[in-house]
Structure 1
Amino acid sequence: MRNVILLALLLFLTVFAYAQQQYSTTNTEAIKNFALANQSIDEHLYAEAIQQLQKAINADPNFVEAHAQLGDMMHLQKNNKGAVEEFKKVIAINPEFSRAVYLKAGDMEISEALYQDAIKHLQKYLTYVGITDQNRFYAQKLIKDCIFATEALQHPIAFKPINMGPNINTANDEYSPVSTADDKTIIYTRQIALNEDFYQSTKVNNEWQKAVYLSDKINTPNYNEGSESVSQDGKFLFFTGCNRPDGRGRCDIYVAQKKGDDWGRPFDLSPPVNTGGWESQPSISADGRTLYFVSNRKGGYGGYDIWKSTLGPKGWGEPENLGPNINTSFNEQSPFIHPDDSTLYFCSNGWPGMGNQDLFVSRLSKDGKWQIPKNLGYPINTNGDESGLSLTANGSYAFFSSNKLDGYGGFDIYTFELPLELRPRMVTYVKGFVSDAKTRQPLESAVEILALDDNRAVYQDYSSADRGDFLATIAAGKNYGLNISKPGYLFYSENFSLVGHTSGNPFNITVLLEPIEVGNKVILKNIFFDTNKYDLERESRAELQKLIEFLALNPTVHIEISGHTDNVGNDELNQKLSENRAKSVYNYLLSGKVDPARLVYKGYGKTQPIAPNITDEDRAKNRRTEFKITAK
């Protein structure tokens, strides 16, 4: 999508000039066919114009105006190789015929990976006086592309694309693949007879199964569905719908929610996300609260820019442009935010690249600003158009589509291992199932994951009502607390340390929620103390607040808070330590306005182990804080 407006203007000026000036030939046959070609161009009969221009050149091979016009027509018909040949003939016949031909030649030569020739012609163009600031900027930008591409060709990166096979790809076009965090489901677009619909494949025994039509609740026979993003748990699908009767603009962003084995009907996101303009290509963050998308709305830096909107208590907030470290005066499209929520992949024809659209990655710095993007390099990027890619949650593999490789026909979906320097931060996922401890029936429960260093929620959602399942991605480098709650039940807590985590191995848990009954207990796994101390650490606050909320929601419940130790050390000291730790929790609850008549605390020392005191891991289990229902 290289500066179409500029080239269209140049083409118009060329046609106008050729029609008005004294020609470089006196050959009547050449002039007659050139005039016929101009008439055909006016009537948009470009194939006929090309034939007439070729006849003019056959009559006089040095007819420079005909070569220039034919070069324009070749480019218009996407024959860039032919356009380059004609522009070079113009320069060879008359180097001073038109300064514009040097800019056109350089532009087309980049499309054909003729970078050194392009540099020579672009530098020649810049020697002319009186060129516009816009054209000077564009020529300088193209030279930067040539310099980058020349260097990239000399330092190729590892790239071994693998076709995803006949269960995914067909003789039709397949593209825009996205996968869930557990890499068990892939959703993509298939185009059949100009109609775009979504298809889905699931992985069984490490093999992708035959893709199936996603849903007639989402796919339509009369409108195209594409450019999708699936939430990490596979329960929400954001996608682009164009010219639909319920739309607000030419293209809008829609969202649909999974309902059992099918999907609910999608709805159009309300303003300020969708407008009367063009909104497309959504990408949803791992926590489901930040939506990245592409728009040509006012306030941007160029044609298409990447924006984001954050979900708040009143819905999606006013979109924010990602700024000049991402967006340029050209086009940025196809954003993909990785589940680490700090690595963004996108395509652009504004940043230095191999030509046309290239793929880039930008990382979010600690101050919350996007860094200058890095080109993914050659041969991931080429002199053609690279339109976008997505990654697996572990960041090791990428998906993309191409019609340039040996496939099954048209665009096929491929995967490749991403070089280490281009990968996002390490993430893993928590996959759980919540059910009633007595009946084993699945429960729809509130699930919250907190970063314990600042008690910030990184995931808030509900387990599904039909299966009781949930899935959340979390980034390495922090400690996390997990809380699961449902009215009428005791809450559940767990913690995960991903400090120094170097693998993508998931956490799989089965949670049995106990009903609120006298005698039932909860281990408070996110209550922390220093060794042999009883002062509560700051990371304990989120768990304690959860306990305060539980008591507020259940005002008749009374509890005993108990402290426990392992069998290491002096029994008397262990008894005292366990009692003081329980008292610390008791005092915190009192500071939270909990009625003291509802609370008691007690230390049990080593007397109530829940695991043998043999290994370090089992002894850690015995060092715990609990609460028990004493009345309801």
Structure 2
Amino acid sequence: MINRILRILLITLTFSGIAYGQYSEKELQQLIQEGNTEKLVRANSELLLNGMFRQAATIAENLVSTSPENANFQYRLGYAYLYYHPDINSPIDPLTKACANVTQKYDASSSKEQQAPIDAVYYLGKAHHRLGNIKKAVDHYQKFLELAGKKNILSSYAELGLIQCEVAEELMNNPSDDKLSNIGDSINTSGPEYAPIVSLDGTSLFFTSRRLWKDEENEGMIDPATNNYLEDIFVSFQDENGKWKSPEILDFCKPNQNEATVSVSIDERKVYVYNDESGNGDIYYSQYNNGTFNAIQPIDKEAVNTKNWEPHLYVTPDGSEVYFVSDRPGGFGGRDIYVMKKTGNDSWSEPQNLGPEINTPYDEDAPFVSIDNESLYFASNGSKSMGGFDIFCAKRNEEGNWGTPANMGYPINSPADDAFYTTTTDGFKGYITSFRAGGKGDLDIYEIQHFPPRNSNTAILKGQIFVVNDQPLPEDIAITVACTNCDKNSSITVFPRIRDGVYFTKLEKCKEYELTYTYNNGKTTFHTAKLATNCIPEYEEIYKPVYLRLDDMKIIPYYQLKIETIDIASNASVGTVTVQILDEDGSVLEDLQTDESGMYTSKILQSRDEGGNANLKFKITKDGYLSKTIDLSFELTDESILNAQLLMEKASVGEDLGQILKLDPIYFDLNSSFIRKDAKEKLQKIIDAMNNNPNMVIECGSHTDCRESYEYNEWLSDRRAKRTVNYISKRISNPGRISGKGYGETQLVNDCGCEGDVVSDCSEAEHQLNRRTEFRIIKN
């Protein structure tokens, strides 16, 4: 699909004047077995001219096997591999052999031709170019220009290739911080996967694939040009761990027809499809209705489809603009991007070419606009590309027009074809199609992680409607989001996804909004809500879930308790933690474990009535951390998401338990070993910690200030340690876990020493700091 027009153009250069032809597989094998060299060369030329690269390669492989030294046959094989073979390296060897014997007087029609045309030098340069062998590509482009001169039509492509090689070298020497990875075997196969469209929250991925269906209904439906199955549209959803599930084919796909993804509406209720039944290629769509995607039909915007080629269309998330691609007359060359703007409820402006700032004398394709309507992404194979199609981004200027596009750089782009970029609302993840070294085979889908994320200073509403008892969501539900303090009236009506009730829309910063939920095609309102965006210039996503009871179409509280375990020192999430949730009377409500990111969502409160508080206890346990019980109270309002952040402290051997619990030391009066009243509250926290951690062993280390003799202070500190141990041991399980030791005045916490003739000038408050007991962890 990518670059097909260019491919056919280049084929005609060498093999012009030869009739079209193609063969069934049976006819092809019979021809190879029975045909002489003349017939095989003739058939190979016909197939190359008709774009039947795989069949042409099959014949060329046979010719090469019988005469490997023949540069003409090697050229034909390398040429077919360049535009068909799923291994990007495949053309190098045959084209290298072909270039060892080239001629200006190449005769494509003669079976006796032993030499290759000088065009082989260009194609070898192209093969090295897309592999990233930039120096070799430049050498061959330059050599081709020296041999061919300006009159050869390929010369302009060689000159473009040299310009693109400069771009590639610059970008590859200065890579971005973005991370690119093959999406993997759950999506990609050894065949082609392309045209990915990711949902705005990154949980679904629509794409085109040429693969055997699970029920094998399309078995035998093979494209003879590539030996692949026909195009079909699939969708994959992420599981709870963020992994892509096995893809599912969309309802409207037919085994004997090509259907390729173009774009998907943000509510996933309309899929735009490329269909070539007309011969030129037009935009169709399928509407989700009554639980299924209906059969595709031509798009209802008459100005889009013409007798020319329209391979792509994208409707902006707010529905105000339609971008599409066409090679219709009047453009700037090749395929151009056009826009139509909404002028009324069902009326649109005439198509407008985006102009020379976006469109070039070459091809532009696959437009995509970010949810904030400020970034236009598209593919172009012009002079600012690294080679083939690259992805570019243009920003909207103050006049509302698109500014100068910038190449998105390496490693997002490569010297081969890269296209079909889409991204999530936060601009952190993006997805592209690429044919590059290291892939699974042919075109693959890749995931990009942007550093930093591309969307900033953007506010997004992510709403969600949960239906009580998991009943199906009615398809006629809509939400009108109206700004109540914007400069001009601003409202948009959006529809939730049927599969999970999620909906999205962009919001303005520092504004207030009212949400109106309706059904019965907008005639009946069943709920309203308010929200406000912050005024900070950074990405903001407001999550607004509601719970719908279908019996009376009423929004009810349906509380979800989102638990998060946090390391109090680092403020980072703690991994898997064992949590026991207790009611305020001590009865166990739920035993659970948080996930690897320290998160868990509990539904224990989902049936509680609105109003009042829910008082819960959380008993948390994890090796290396202090086990404890945390009391939290939750106000049961109309907000269904309740957040429980559980702070955890590491408890390492040698540390002071009091410091971990953020307690001041236990202090004593001068010359006294009695437990003071103010110490008992702190000791209770030590006692609670030891009872919650039944394997913990503690040493009570008691100290004095410097006054009195060494001997007296050792005796006094030992009494303080024993009194502390006695107080705690009566109140904990397995009292043998606590011991005491007196250190006298040997471990002062300040410079209040007064040994020998030294007279301390410390205040009584400073001396008090030394009269203490600490709680060192011996074992945990």
**Superposition deviation, residue 133 in structure 1:** 9.7
**8 A Cα contact 1:389 1:399, kept in partner:** yes
Shift of 1:145: 0.6
8 Å CA contact 1:255, 1:267 repeated in 2: yes
1:359 equivalent among 391, 414, 418: 391
Is residue 357–residue 386 contact of structure 1 (8 Å, CA) maintained in 2?
Answer: yes
Q: Within 2, Cα distance between the matches of 1:223 and 1:116?
A: 43
Aligned to 1:284: 315
Instruction: Name the aligned partner's letter for residue 75 of structure 2.
Output: G
Q: Label 1:50 to 1:177 Cα distance change in 2 as closer, same or farther (>3 A).
A: closer
Equivalent position of 1:335 in the other structure: 367
TM-score scaled by structure 1? 0.62
Q: What's the offset of the Cα at 1:392?
A: 1.4
Question: Partners in 1 of 2:327 and 2:299 — Cα distance?
Answer: 17
Any idea what SS the aligned residue of 2:78 has?
Answer: helix
Of 256, 260, 263 in structure 2, the residue corresponding to residue 222 of structure 1 is: 256
Contact 2:417 2:434 in 1 (8 A): no
Q: CA shift at 1:397, angstroms?
A: 0.6
Structure showing greater Rg: 2
Query: 1:178-327, aligned counterparts within 5 Å?
Result: 178-193=197-212, 194-208=229-243, 210-211=245-246, 213=248, 215-216=250-251, 218-243=252-277, 250-259=280-289, 261-270=291-300, 271-311=302-342, 312-327=344-359
Give the conservation status (yes or no) of the 8 Å contact 1:393–1:427: no
Within 5 Å, give how 1:593-608 maps onto structure 2. none
The answer as to 2:463 corresponding to 1:459 is no
For 1:502, which of 538, 543, 547 is the aligned residue? 538
Contact 2:392–2:405, Cα closer than 8 Å, also in 1: yes
- Checking the alignment, whether the CA contact within 8 Å between 2:195 and 2:433 is kept in structure 1 is yes
1:220 counterpart letter in structure 2: K
Alignment length, in residue pairs? 480
Counterpart of 2:171 in structure 1 is 152
Over residues 104-159 of structure 1, what are the superposed CA-to-partner deviations in whole Å (9 max), with x where a residue is unaligned? 55444423433234434545666789724965643432221111111122222345
CA 266–354 in structure 1, closer or farther in 2 if over 3 Å, else same? same
Give 2:165's aligned amino acid: C
For 1:254 and 1:331, locate their aligned partners in 2 and report how far apart those are by CA, in whole Å.
Answer: 22
Structure 1 pair 499–128 and aligned structure 2 pair: CA distance change class (3 A): farther
Change (3 A) 1:267 1:317: farther
* Residues 42 and 412 of structure 1: CA distance in aligned 2, closer, same or farther (over 3 Å): closer
Q: Is the 1:160–1:417 Cα contact (8 Å) retained in structure 2?
A: yes
**Contact 1:87–1:105 under 8 Å retained in 2:** no
Unaligned runs of 5+ in 2: 19-35, 48-55, 83-89, 106-115, 213-228, 468-472, 550-780
Q: d(CA) in 2 for partners of 1:35 and 1:135? A: 27
Structure 1 segments unaligned to the other structure (5+ residues): 16-32, 59-65, 436-440, 514-632
Match of 1:385 in 2: 417
What does 1:38-77 align with in structure 2 at a 5 Å threshold?
A: 42=45, 44=47, 58=69, 67=71, 70-71=74-75, 74-77=78-81
What SS does the corresponding residue of 2:418 show, helix, strand or coil? Answer: coil
Compute the displacement of 1:395 (Å).
0.8
CA offsets 1:198-257 (integer angstroms, 9 cap, x no match): 3333345343463463542x22233222223222233332222332xxxx6643323333
Question: What secondary structure is seen at the aligned counterpart in 2 of 1:116?
Answer: helix
Q: Which residue of 2 aligns with 1:600?
A: none
| Cα distance change on mapping 1:237 and 1:424 into 2, 3 Å | farther
Q: CA deviation at 1:447?
A: 0.8
AA at the equivalent of 2:386: M
Question: Out of 469, 472, 483, which is 2:504 matched to?
Answer: 472
User: Cα offset for 1:417?
Assistant: 0.7
Q: Following the alignment from structure 2 to structure 1, what is the Cα–Cα distance between the partners of residues 7 and 191?
A: 29
For normalisation by structure 2, the TM-score amounts to: 0.52
Task: Check conservation: 2:233, 2:261, Cα contact below 8 A.
Answer: no
Q: Is the 8 A contact 2:265 2:315 kept in 1?
A: yes
Distance change >3 Å, CA 165–CA 323, structure 1 → 2 = same
Paired AA for residue 480 in structure 2: V
Stretch moving more, 353-362 or 475-484: 475-484
Q: Does the CA contact (< 8 Å) of 1:339 and 1:393 recur in 2? A: yes
Aligned mates of 1:323, 1:451 — CA distance in 2: 37
> For 2:311, what is the secondary structure of its paired residue?
strand
Give the match's secondary structure for 2:161.
Answer: helix
CA distance in structure 2 between the aligned counterparts of 1:172 and 1:389, rounded to whole angstroms: 20
Give secondary structure in 1 for the equivalent of 2:231. Answer: strand
* Counterpart mapping for 1:409-448 below 5 A: 413-420=445-452, 426-431=458-463, 433=465, 444-445=477-478, 447-448=480-481
Change (3 A) 1:303 1:151: same
Note the 1:77-226 alignment, pairs <5 A.
Answer: 77-78=81-82, 79-82=90-93, 84-86=95-97, 88-90=99-101, 103-104=122-123, 106-123=125-142, 131-132=150-151, 137-162=156-181, 164=183, 168=187, 173-193=192-212, 194-208=229-243, 210-211=245-246, 213=248, 215-216=250-251, 218-226=252-260
CA spacing shift, 1:422–1:120, aligned 2, 3 Å: farther
Within 5 Å, give how 1:480-559 maps onto structure 2.
Answer: 481-484=513-516, 492=528, 494-508=530-544, 510=546
Conserved? CA contact 1:476–1:498, under 8 Å: no
Change (3 A) 1:480 1:10: farther
**Distance 1:494-1:157 versus aligned 2 partners, 3 A rule:** same
Q: 2:14 aligns with which of 11, 19, 22?
A: 11
Question: Does 2:426 align with 1:371?
Answer: no
* AA aligned opposite 1:428: I
Task: Give CA-to-partner distance per residue, 1:484-518, whole Å, 9 cap, x none.
Answer: 276566995735335434234323154999xxxxx
Q: Which moved more, 1:177-186 or 1:259-268?
A: 259-268
Does the 8 Å contact 1:68/1:101 carry over to 2?
no
Deviations 1:351-409 (A, max 9, x none): 42332222222222222222232222223222322232321121101123557677877
Higher relative contact order (CA 8 A, sep 6+): 1
Question: Per the alignment, in what secondary structure is the counterpart of residue 237 of structure 2?
Answer: strand
**Distance in 1, Cα, partners of 2:202 & 2:482:** 21
Pick closer, same or farther for the CA change 1:423–1:86 going to 2, 3 Å: farther
Distance verdict in 2 for CA 1:295–1:498, change over 3 Å: farther
More helix by share: 1
Aligned-partner Cα distance in 2 for 1:4–1:467: 41
State the Cα deviation string for residues 526-571 of structure 1 (Å, max 9, x = none). Answer: xxxxxxxxxxxxxxxxxxxxxxxxxxxxxxxxxxxxxxxxxxxxxx
Question: 1-side partners of 2:123 and 2:195: how far apart?
Answer: 32
Matched letter for residue 459 of structure 1: I
- Relative to structure 1, the CA distance from residue 365 to residue 86 in structure 2 (aligned partners, 3 Å threshold; closer, same or farther) is farther
Residue 123 and residue 165 in structure 1: after superposition, are their counterparts in 2 closer, same or farther (change >3 A)? Answer: closer
Alpha carbons 1:176, 1:227 under 8 Å: kept: yes
In 1, Cα distance between equivalents of 2:205 and 2:303: 30
Percent identity between matched residues is 25
SS in 1 for 2:210: strand
2:414–2:436 contact (8 Å) kept in structure 1: no
Structure 1 residues 43, 143: closer, same or farther in 2, change over 3 A? closer
Structure 1 position 471, deviation (Å): 1.9
